[in-house]
Each structure stands twice: as structure tokens, then as C-alpha cells.
């Protein structure tokens, strides 16, 4: 059983990371930012878990023939994963805004 750490989800660092993770996966970030994210992920389980699910989503999308996945469905999946290509308005998980 893991000890509960109150208020972790409120980390501003994590929110900033979530917005960058898709670029991180694609290798679009510069080396220093990559290293920064990597070291944060090392000590942050929620971020690590989110990265894994995002990676899995990207893999599924890459393996699925485009013909079977219309563009709007693709976008919908990416949006659900918190990863909108070219978008800057992705809301990080844990902060649902209306």
C-alpha cells in the first residue's frame, strides 16, 4: 500500500509537463527540456503513468491503418488522451474546466 501524499495533483510542474508530453514523445523538445522532464518523471508516478498511457495511445494510432480511423476519430482519441496535435489548449488531467 502506498502512503497518500496530499495535494500532489496540484503540482504546477505536472500541469506544465502534461502540455509538453506529446512533444516529448515525438522528440520535438530540446535536450535540456527533455532532461528536465525525464528527471521529473523519475520521481513522479502520476506523470509516469500518464506518459505511459499517452505513449500507448500514440502507438495504437500509429498501428491503425488510416483508412480505418477517420481524422475526426483520431482527433477525438488524442483529445481524450489530453494530446491535441498543434493545439495549445489541452487541459491537463486532474483539472477539468468547463
CB of 62 to Zn ion, least distance (A): 25
The footprint of Zn ion (CB under 5 A) covers 14, 44, 47
Cell matching residue 47: 506523470
14 or 78: CB nearest Zn ion:
14
Contact between 17 and 47 under an 8 Å Cβ cutoff? The reply is yes
Cell matching residue 81: 488522451
- Cα–Cα distance, 57 to 61 (Å, whole number): 6
27 or 43: CB nearest Zn ion:
43
CB of 40 to Zn ion, least distance (A): 6
40 or 74: CB nearest Zn ion:
40
Contact between 14 and 44 under an 8 Å Cβ cutoff? The reply is yes
CB of 29 to Zn ion, least distance (A): 16
Amino acid at each position: 500500500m502506498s502512503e497518500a501524499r496530499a495535494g500532489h495533483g496540484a503540482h504546477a510542474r505536472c500541469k506544465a509537463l502534461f502540455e509538453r508530453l506529446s512533444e516529448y514523445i515525438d522528440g520535438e523538445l530540446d535536450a535540456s527540456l527533455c532532461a528536465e522532464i525525464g528527471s521529473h518523471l523519475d520521481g513522479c508516478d502520476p506523470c509516469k503513468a500518464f506518459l505511459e498511457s499517452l505513449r500507448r495511445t500514440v502507438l495504437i494510432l500509429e498501428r491503425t491503418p488510416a483508412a480505418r480511423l477517420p481524422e475526426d476519430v483520431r482527433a477525438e482519441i488524442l483529445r481524450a488522451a489530453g494530446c491535441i496535435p498543434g493545439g495549445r489548449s489541452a487541459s491537463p488531467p486532474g483539472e477539468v474546466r468547463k
